[in-house]
């Protein structure tokens, strides 16, 4: 299984403005089946609060900042994302929530699977049972 990790993306610096990019398999260790983005988040809001059985994600703070809090069933990590040239790899079967969104923040999420409501684990106790069976 892939591990939770921060992945640096290329940054092409230019007087006209910087440019970064991301490619499947090269920077993200999966085929990108879906992209979505989270924006206009009111202050104090929390997103997520679930895990996926199969879906892995790569999260980039394209603008502003937010925290991604991850739990693997035993330990919790907090990543503060505030640069558009790195992304956080969140493998499947990791509990995650996103919080502390700054004003005008924009979160880009690249996913390894198409949307499937049956892929969600919403109960933390169920999640712990599943991870402990692994
Ligand atoms: P959800 O994944 O629960 O958001 P978050 O984890 O950030 O709290 O998704 C919120 C709603 O959007 C839910 O009704 C499902 C829908 N949705 C899609 O239809 N397609 C998608 O790719 C995603 C991520 C969500």
What distance in Å separates the CA atoms of residue 20 and residue 132, rounded to the nearest whole number?
A: 38
DSSP 3: P
**pLDDT band of 133, cuts 50, 70, 90:** confident
The residues lining ligand 1, judged by C-beta closer than 6 Å to any ligand atom, are: 34, 36, 38, 47-48, 115
pLDDT in tens, 69-94: 999 999 999 999 999 999 999 999 99
Atom of ligand 1 nearest to the CA of 117: 15
**126 has a pLDDT exceeding 80:** yes
State the average pLDDT over residues 85-107. Answer: 97
pLDDT in tens, 10-58: 999 999 999 999 999 999 999 999 999 999 999 899 999 999 999 999 9
Q: What pLDDT, on a 0 to 100 scale, did the predictor assign at position 2?
A: 81
Residue pair 36/96 in contact (Cβ under 8 Å)? The answer is no
What are the structural domains of the chain?
Answer: 5-133 (2.60.120.10)
Kindly give the distance from the C-alpha atom of residue 16 to the centroid of ligand 1, in angstroms, as a whole number: 35
């Amino acid at each position: 299984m892939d591990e939770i990790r921060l992945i640096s993306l290329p940054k092409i610096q230019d007087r006209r403005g910087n440019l970064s990019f991301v490619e499947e398999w090269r920077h993200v260790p999966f085929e990108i089946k879906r992209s979505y983005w989270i924006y206009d988040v009111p202050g104090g809001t929390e997103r997520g609060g679930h895990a996926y059985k199969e879906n892995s994600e790569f999260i980039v703070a394209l603008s502003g900042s937010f925290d991604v809090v991850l739990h693997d069933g035993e330990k919790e990590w907090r990543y503060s994302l505030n640069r558009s040239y790195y992304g956080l790899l969140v493998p499947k079967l990791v509990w995650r929530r996103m919080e502390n969104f700054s004003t005008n923040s924009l979160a880009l999420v690249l996913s390894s699977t198409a949307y499937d409501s049956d892929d969600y684990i919403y109960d933390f106790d169920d999640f712990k049972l599943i991870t402990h069976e692994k």
